[in-house]
Amino acid sequence: MTIDEFTREALRLDPTRQANLARELLASLDDLPEREIEQL
């Protein structure tokens, strides 16, 4: 699955599931080293 396909699928989710997915994705960034976070 490409990132574009993933994005389209994610946008089809109901708002609650979108919020849960967003929360999980953001939380996963907490594990990155500070240097990588700054590059984002």
Kindly write down the DSSP assignment for every residue of 1-19, as one continuous string. Answer: --HHHHHHHHHHS-HHHHH
For residue 38, pLDDT beyond 90: no
Tell me how far apart the alpha carbons of residues 20 and 9 are, in angstroms, rounded to a whole number.
14
In which residue are the tokens 């990155």 written? 32
pLDDT tens digit sequence for 7-36: 999 999 999 999 999 999 999 988 899 899
Whole-number pLDDT of residue 31: 86
Whole-number pLDDT of residue 17: 98
Q: Where are the domains of the chain?
A: 3-39
Whole-number pLDDT of residue 37: 83
For residue 5, pLDDT beyond 90: yes
For residue 40, pLDDT beyond 90: no
